[in-house]
Each structure stands twice: as structure tokens, then as C-alpha cells.
Copies of this chain bind each other. A is one copy, B any other.
Amino acid sequence: MSELSTPNVPHFSAEERDTLYRVIAARRDMRHFTPNTRIDDATITRLLQATHQAPSVGLMQPWRFQRIRTIQQREGIAALVMAERAVTANALGERGEEFLRLKVEGIRDCAELWVVSVAPDDGTLFGRRTMPQAMALCSVACAIQNLWLATRAENLGMGWVSMFDPLALAEWLALPAGSQPIAILCIGQVEAFYSAPMLELEGWRQGRTLDDGFFT
């Protein structure tokens, strides 16, 4: 094979490599968005292309993205998240009050609201005979991570809200039978990116460092 020299198969410089590392380091789970903004169509197209270039087990591409277009849908989704937030606060016991002071989503303020689902199973066996659900789910998560990095490189914020009852959300959106919604994504302009994960800045939890048994 001599593909290394073709335009489709680039060789990256140290500077380009470091650009990727800077994007990865600067990515944050955002909950604060600038209200009354929008994202232009060309940017949306670039974001979707990057998302769709994700890996998937057996090339099954199990991701489905639904753009929420009406205020009514947005309000319904916000209500579902608020309901789960209350249940979570209760389940957290003594940290429940502290939890309720955290901002956990930017559903009403963000420019774009997208719901991401794992598509109904298409029967792909390649690479997932022993872990069918897990591998489809991982493929969708990889697509979301592509999107997360793409938004950051566009200087847009993104937050992944997972605080909802997936069955209630699927019903509210009338998703096809067998769909598994896993993310409500808030995307849009932000005043500023957090300098560290918001849960650290707010004193909720401290992330651990590389040398703490993650890699052996």
C-alpha cells in the first residue's frame, strides 16, 4: 500500500498533534449558555459530518440524532429532566440539598438541543455477538465524543444531560420502537468555558489523576 502519500491519508505534524491535544484538554461539559443565539447552517453541517465519521462496530452506525425544533418539545424535555433531578436529589440523601444548588443543564438557553438515541437493533453480528447492546452503545458514545470535540474546536459549548427517564423520553418524542435515548445534548455559544470540570469548580467531586490506577 502506498496510501501514506495520498491526500486522503494525511501525516500529521507535531504542531497539528498538539492542536488535537489542546482541543481534548479544553473540552468541558457545559451547562451555562448564552441565551437567544443560534448556530449557522454551515457549522451545523461540519458538526454532523464529524459526528458521522465516528467508528462503529461492524460499520452499523447505530446513532440517531433528533434536532428539537419547537419550544413545546424543549419545555417537555426540560420538565422530564427536572423530574429526574428531584428524584436524584432525594436518592442522594444528605448531599441532596447541595446537589440541588448545582446547575445540571442548559436546556432552555442553548442554541441547539439534540436528542441522541441508539437505533433499534439491525441484527449486526460482526464484533458484537457477545456484547450486542454494549457495542452499539459504545459506537453512539464515540459519535457523541467526536461531536463534543468538534463543538469545542468551533468554540461552542456542549453539555451531555443524562438525567432523565429514557422510557419517558422515548415516549414523549414518539421514537421508533426499540430506540434507546441516551443523551440530551445542549449545544451553543457560551460566555466562557469552565477552566476545569464544573463539578470540580463547584466542589462536588475531585477528579483523580493519571497515576491513580487507571492505567497499569
Give residues in A with beta carbon < 8 Å to B. Answer: 1-4, 6, 8-12, 16-17, 19-27, 29, 46, 48-50, 52-55, 57-59, 61, 63-67, 84, 87-88, 91-92, 99, 104, 125-131, 134-135, 137-142, 144-146, 148-150, 152-155, 160-166, 180, 182-183, 191-195, 197, 199-200, 204-210, 213-216
Contact = CB atoms under 8 A, between A and B. Distances in A.
B65 A208 contact: no
The A interface, classified by DSSP as helix, strand, loop or mixed, is mixed
Contact of A23 (B20, B66, B138, B180): B20
Contact of A214 (B8, B52, B145): B52
Contacts of A129: 84, 87-88, 91, 163
A20 B150 contact: yes
Contacts of A163: 127, 129-130
